[in-house]
Amino acid sequence: MMTVFLCEDSLDGILTGVYEAWDSRLGHRNVKLKTDTEDTMELFCEYRTVSTELEKAEKVLQTVRCRMGVKAEEAVCYAAACPDERKADAIYRLIVLGLSMRDGRKAVNCLQDPSVLLVEQLRYKAWHEAERMLGFLRFEELPGAILYARMEPPYAVLSLIAPHFADRLRQENWIIHDVGRGQIAVHRKDSPWFLADARMLDLRQMERRSDAEAEFQSLWRAFCKSIAIEERRNPRCQQNLLPLRFRPCMTEFQQ
């Protein structure tokens, strides 16, 4: 009989699931991992709900890093950010494979294995999305020189992109708001960033803008318009590279 471990849809949730599934000693063939976003249940399965424990998640990640290398660690972290229901089980299979090999660092290269391939594909998707977000995120200045950015990505990239901005805008106070997931990343000048619940945000305060903001926004719009070469106009190409779903949050496409 198959035992399904239902874990929370987050990196820590999935890693705790990996820990519990391994620890259950039911045999790798008899267990399956799923995220709790799914609502269809399977027949002839026993369901166990996993409650996320940071300590266990950290242990698993530590093991992955030591035995399978940073590449595998990165692959796991990025794959967990994808909205894909197969990811939890694929991550589990990758870890099982990696720990069974003499040199676990080679596990990520075994693309013939469907789970490894899936993790690799998901890693690429999430990495691509995160990289696009690094460019397409737009900050707006609130009074008091606080920078505030909204985004609505289908992938959970907030914790993947925040370190980049923490380094880049080290001297700034900023907030990145993932509207869909209700999460925010907060950074105070010269201190480390942290994740928080968006409910602690006063949204009315976030509606206000500093005096210089409108001026810079119109300068940017004017620049984006004048930099395009009319003879080479190609909206199709533009849309391939910058899909419409990003545009609502981008200054140059707002009027």
Partner 1 sequence: MQQHKIPEQLPVMEKLKILSDAAKYDVACTSSGTSRGNNGKGIGNCFDAGICHSFAADGRCISLLKILFTNECIFNCRYCLNRSSNDVPRATFTPDEICELVIGFYRRNYIEGLFLSSGILKSPDYTMELLYQTLLKLRTQYQFGGYIHVKAIPGADPLLIEKTGFLADRMSVNLELPTAEGLKKLAPAKTREKILKPMRQVQNRMEENRQELVLYRNAPRFVPAGQSTQMIIGATPENDFQIMSVAESLYQKFDLKRVFYSAFVRVNEDSALPALPGGPPLLREHRLYQADWLLRFYGFEAGELLSEDRPNFNMVFDPKCDWALRHLEHFPVEINRASYQTLLRVPGIGVKSAQRIVKARRHGSLDFPDLKKMGVVLKRALYFITCRGRTMYPIRIDEDYITRNLLYVKEKLPPELRGDVSYRQLSLFDDGMPLSAEEQQLLIT
Please tell me the distance from the alpha carbon of residue 24 to that of residue 33, in angstroms, as a whole number: 12
Selected from 23, 144, 236, 255, the binder of partner 1 by CB under 8 A is 236
Please tell me the distance from the alpha carbon of residue 227 to that of residue 234, in angstroms, as a whole number: 13
Return the range that interacts with partner 1 (CB under 8 A); candidates 18-26, 44-52, 87-95, 136-144.
Answer: 136-144
Selected from 39, 44, 232, 255, the binder of partner 1 by CB under 8 A is 232
Would you say 199 or 232 has its CB closer to partner 1? 232
Selected from 233, 245, 248, 254, the binder of partner 1 by CB under 8 A is 233
Please tell me the distance from the alpha carbon of residue 58 to that of residue 61, in angstroms, as a whole number: 5
What are residue 141's DSSP bridge partners? 147
179 binds partner 1 (CB under 8 A): no
Would you say 41 or 222 has its CB closer to partner 1? 222
49 binds partner 1 (CB under 8 A): no
73 binds partner 1 (CB under 8 A): no
Q: How far is the CB of 195 from partner 1 (least distance, A)?
A: 19
198 binds partner 1 (CB under 8 A): no
Measured CA distances, 5 to 23, 119, 172 (Å): 12, 19, 42
Return the range that interacts with partner 1 (CB under 8 A); candidates 15-23, 76-84, 201-209, 221-229.
Answer: 221-229
110 binds partner 1 (CB under 8 A): yes
171 binds partner 1 (CB under 8 A): yes
- The neighbour count for residue 238, using CB atoms within 10 Å, is 11
List b or e across 165-175, with b for residues whose CB sees 16 or more CB atoms inside 10 angstroms: bbeeeeebbbb
Please tell me the distance from the alpha carbon of residue 51 to that of residue 175, in angstroms, as a whole number: 29
Closest by CA position to 198, among listed 152, 165, 244, 161? 152
Q: What is the DSSP letter of 50?
A: P
What is the binding site for partner 1 (CB under 8 A)? 106, 109-112, 117, 131, 134-141, 147, 149, 164-165, 167-172, 212, 216, 218-220, 222-238, 240-242, 250-252
